[in-house]
Amino acid sequence: MSENVLRIRDLSVNYQTDRGVLEAIRHVNLDIPKGSIVGVVGESGCGKSTLITSIIRQLDDNADIPNGSIEFEKQDLLKLSLDKMRNISGTKLSIIFQDPMSTLNPVLSIGRQMIDIQYRDKISKKRKKQRSIDMLTKVGIPDPRNQLNQYPYELSGGMQQRVSIAMALQAGPSLLIADEPTTALDTTLEVQILKLLKELQEEMGCSILFVSHHLGVIAELCDHVVVMYAGEIVEQGSTYEIFNNPAHPYTVKLLECDPASISKKQNLLPTIPGEIPDLINLSGGCIFKNRCDQSIERCDKVTPILNKFDTHHFVSCHLIES
Amino acid sequence: MSKLLSIKNLRVRFRIKSPLQAMLQKIDDPYIDAVRQVSLDIKQGETFTLVGESGSGKTTLALAVAGLLNATEGQIKFMNEDVTSMTSSQIMAYRKKISFIWQNSIGSLSPRMSVGSLITEGYKIHNLKDRDLKMEADRLLKLVGLPAHISGRYAHQLSGGQARRVGVARAIALKPKLIIADEPTAGLDVSVQGEILNLLNKLKDDLGVSLFVITHNLNIVRHISDKTAVMYLGRFVEQGQTDDIFAKPKHPYTLALLSANLTPYPEASLKNRIELKGEVPSLMDRPNGCEFHTRCPFSSEHCDNEFPPMHVFDGEQILTCHYPLNQN
């Protein structure tokens, strides 16, 4: 396999809360190979957002990272000074957020914002403007020259998201983080944006870390999938393997209960009984044990680790080991 | 089964420019039609689903049905009473028979009221004093599968799924005949979506209510609804039995929506997908001819100029298109 753009090793993030220490993510290992799209999928509270914010170093003040490293282009992001970090984010590393309306500044025109973010480049304003126009053309915005004078509220949701994709890719980043970029969009637009992302990724050769709770979107876009549950990676592997041959009980159940995967009409849809465990005062053992219907005695005592299940498929479950 | 709700040629208009603005900007028609020429029937105990993209008029239609918006033209009949001509006291009585589950589950609950008083608020509003409100609250919480101790909590202490269940409890409190659910699964995790849909299905069977579900999530439609209508720019482009719509969509827009519906099968993405060009046109500037022609992959010159006729297949599947798809 080719080299990795991002290498996360043994990353844990804790939050100090009134009730005690909340272990939001624990011992996460993640690789993003160059030029590939890696999807992180999981339900609310699984630590998706904490993972992203720790990569871009924007964690809240009450968070601390007891152990782990995030290696991006041969340097540990966690050890960089904030100045150096600021130079990486926005150039080598950029991000698209869920809600384009709150990403874009409502009081500045699109053009002004797109030119502003090129402040590092010592070229004339005219060339910066031309670059912005080229970028807007690339993301499929009609009549880009006039669009530069528009304000975000004058654009539809799909167009706003295209603008934020254009801004994120303008500096030619080697890693693009996409945090649920299509959740706020209608299905027909969702398909358009996914196709656009894939085309741009192939054209520009960057890697994408795509975070979503929508299984269909992940299946459509990603090469590799990482399944997270309550702050741990429970399974990871190639998209084909994960969706066709899921091994962890959680992944199996998650795929089963997605209404999209049931094509016959059913009055009673499958669900996952129980709730996500409280991440304060974790008791040890497997994190999924209280909702798993196959749990054995060992699951209560020993925390499983990610084991090789197949060539490109890793699972953290005692049932698989034995 | 008897007809519960029957809508004929409903039109809802909104003024978008004041008379002065319209005069100064020389706009002849300062209105938009959010809902236009909509006709539908819902029978007792039936689930009717409305699908469509944002801005297609789904919520406007629901608000008009609940009497929260005035219809400009057309007729809304609920149990043979005309809703559009009701007086305010009649509307009050009517609202006992119809209830809402709002899209934003936490936002629709008052942050200053406990769950118990939120659930029984309807009884106080409609002056139904003949019961023990605390016991009612416990009974309703049990019906929606929540523990009784939750009645002391406040909206911010609930998870998304719990808040949605409280919304359901509020909706069934007054024993309505029709529940309008606006995006009942929006913002919920997949594993919780199933729980809410199961709950709605169960209540429908147990209490015999009809459901009017608004959604843009096609995946859930198949499992809960009997009839489906597809809305585009305020009009129904296709409506019929849900099974027929899914098995043999006849309007290109329906087909496009179905094919844009992503499924968790990586290999499924390889099959041909009908992709729509561009975005939904503005209601202020409706296209001529067939209103879908600007995005339709099958449109011809004919579609650009002439409004399509209505076709009826098998007595049930109604659609407006010049060239209905032939899928057997």
The whole-angstrom distance between residue A264's C-alpha and the CA centroid of its chain comes to: 31
What is the C-alpha separation between A84 and A54, in angstroms, rounded? 16
Choose the closest CB to B279 out of A156, A253, A261: A156
| pLDDT tens for each residue of chain B, 328 residues long | 578 999 999 999 999 889 998 889 888 888 999 999 999 999 999 999 999 888 889 999 999 998 889 899 999 999 988 998 888 889 989 999 999 999 888 889 999 999 999 999 999 999 988 889 999 999 999 999 999 999 999 999 888 889 999 999 999 999 999 999 998 888 788 888 888 889 999 989 999 899 999 988 888 898 889 999 999 999 999 999 999 999 889 999 999 988 888 888 877 655 667 778 888 888 888 899 999 999 998 888 899 999 999 999 887 899 999 999 876 5
Chain B residues in contact with A186 by the CB 8 A cut-off are 53-54, 216, 280
Residues B292 and B232 sit within 8 Å (Cβ to Cβ): yes
CB contact under 8 A, A216 and B262: yes
Residue in chain A closest to B243 (alpha carbons) equals A265
Residue in chain A closest to B278 (alpha carbons) equals A189
* Residues in Cβ contact with B315 at an 8 Å cutoff, skipping those fewer than 6 apart: none
CB contact under 8 A, B160 and A44: yes
Determine how many CB atoms are found less than 10 A away from the CB of residue B118: 23
Domain A4-92+171-321 listed as CATH 3.30.930.10: no
What is the C-alpha separation between A67 and A9, in angstroms, rounded? 9
Position A1 scores a pLDDT of 47
Token digits of residue A139: 């993301």
Q: Which residues of B touch A (CB under 8 A)?
A: 53-54, 159-160, 189-195, 197-198, 201, 216-220, 222-223, 242-243, 256-257, 260-269, 273, 275-276, 279-280
b/e for B56-80, b at 16 or more Cβ within 10 A?
Answer: bbbbbbbbbbbbebebbebebbbee
CB contact under 8 A, A214 and B256: no
Position B169 scores a pLDDT of 94
* Residues in Cβ contact with B33 at an 8 Å cutoff, skipping those fewer than 6 apart: B11, B12, B13, B234, B283, B286
Domain B3-97+176-248 listed as CATH 3.40.50.300: yes
Residue in chain A closest to B274 (alpha carbons) equals A188
- CA distances to B36, B152, B185, B189 from B156, rounded to whole Å, are 39, 12, 19, 18
pLDDT 10s digits, A120-142: 889 999 999 999 999 999 998 88
What is the C-alpha separation between B221 and B187, in angstroms, rounded? 16
Where do the domains of chain B lie?
A: 3-97+176-248
Residues B133 and B140 sit within 8 Å (Cβ to Cβ): no
Residues A282 and A289 sit within 8 Å (Cβ to Cβ): no
pLDDT 10s digits, A280-308: 888 888 999 989 988 888 998 899 988 88
Token digits of residue B98: 């119809």
Position A134 scores a pLDDT of 94
What is the C-alpha separation between A230 and A287, in angstroms, rounded? 7
CB contact under 8 A, A261 and B269: no
pLDDT 10s digits, A208-242: 999 998 898 999 899 999 999 999 999 999 999 99
Altogether, the residues listed in chain B come to a count of: 328
Residues A37 and A221 sit within 8 Å (Cβ to Cβ): yes
- CA distances to A148, A162, A180, A268 from A60, rounded to whole Å, are 34, 28, 20, 41
Residues B140 and B173 sit within 8 Å (Cβ to Cβ): yes
CB contact under 8 A, B268 and A219: yes
